Structure 1
Amino acid sequence: MLNLIKKLYYDSRIRYLFFGGLTTLVNIVVFGILEGPLGIDYKISNFFSVAIAICFAFVVNKLYVFQSKSKTFGDTVQEFIKFVLGRLVTMVVEVGGVPFCVELLGQPKMVAKIETQVIVVIVNYFISKLFVFKSGSEQDK
Structure 2
Amino acid sequence: MSEMGGGHMHRPENQQRGVLKYAHHFLQKHWELVIYGVVGVCTTVINIVVFQILSEKVLNLFWSNASAFVIAVLFAYAANSLIVFHAPFSFRSFLQFWGMRIVSLAIDMGGLFVLIAVGMDKLAAKIFVNVAVVIANYLFSKLVIFKKGKGRKNGD
Specify the TM-score bucket, using the shorter chain as the normaliser.
Answer: 0.7 to 0.9
CA distance in structure 2 between the partners assigned to 1:134 and 1:108 by the alignment = 37
Structure 1 residue 69: Cα displacement: 2.9
CA RMSD of superposed structures (Å): 2.1
* Residue equivalent to 1:25: 45
Structure 1 residues 2-48: Cα deviation after superposition (integer angstroms, max 9, x where no partner): x94xx459711001000000000000010011011x23111210111
Are the equivalent residues in 2 in contact too, given 1:43–1:99 (CA < 8 A)? Answer: no
Change (3 A) 1:12 1:106: same
CA distance in structure 1 between the partners assigned to 2:28 and 2:60 by the alignment = 40
Change (3 A) 1:10 1:68: farther
Structure 2 runs not aligned, ≥5 long: 1-19, 150-156
Matched, 1:102 2:121: no
CA distance in structure 1 between the partners assigned to 2:120 and 2:79 by the alignment = 31
Q: Tell me the matched-pair count.
A: 127
Match of 2:129 among 107, 110, 116: 116
Q: Partner letter of residue 93 of structure 2? A: E
CA distance in structure 1 between the partners assigned to 2:38 and 2:109 by the alignment = 23
Q: With the length of structure 1 as denominator, give the TM-score of the two structures.
A: 0.82
Structure 1 residue 81: Cα displacement: 0.2
Greater relative contact order (Cα 8 A, min sep 6): structure 1 or 2?
Answer: 1
Structure 1 residues 53-90: Cα deviation after superposition (integer angstroms, max 9, x where no partner): 111100000000111135xxxxx111100000011111
Q: Aligned residues: percent identity? A: 35
Q: Partner letter of residue 114 of structure 2? A: F
* Residue equivalent to 2:76: 57
* Residue equivalent to 1:82: 96
Q: Which has the larger radius of gyration?
A: 2
CA distance in structure 1 between the partners assigned to 2:125 and 2:31 by the alignment = 30
Change (3 A) 1:125 1:85: same
Q: 1:36-51 to 2 correspondence within 5 Å? A: 36=56, 38-51=57-70
Q: With the length of structure 2 as denominator, give the TM-score of the two structures.
A: 0.75
Change (3 A) 1:9 1:53: farther
Q: 1:64-75 to 2 correspondence within 5 Å? A: 64-70=83-89
Change (3 A) 1:8 1:14: farther
SS at match of 1:67: coil
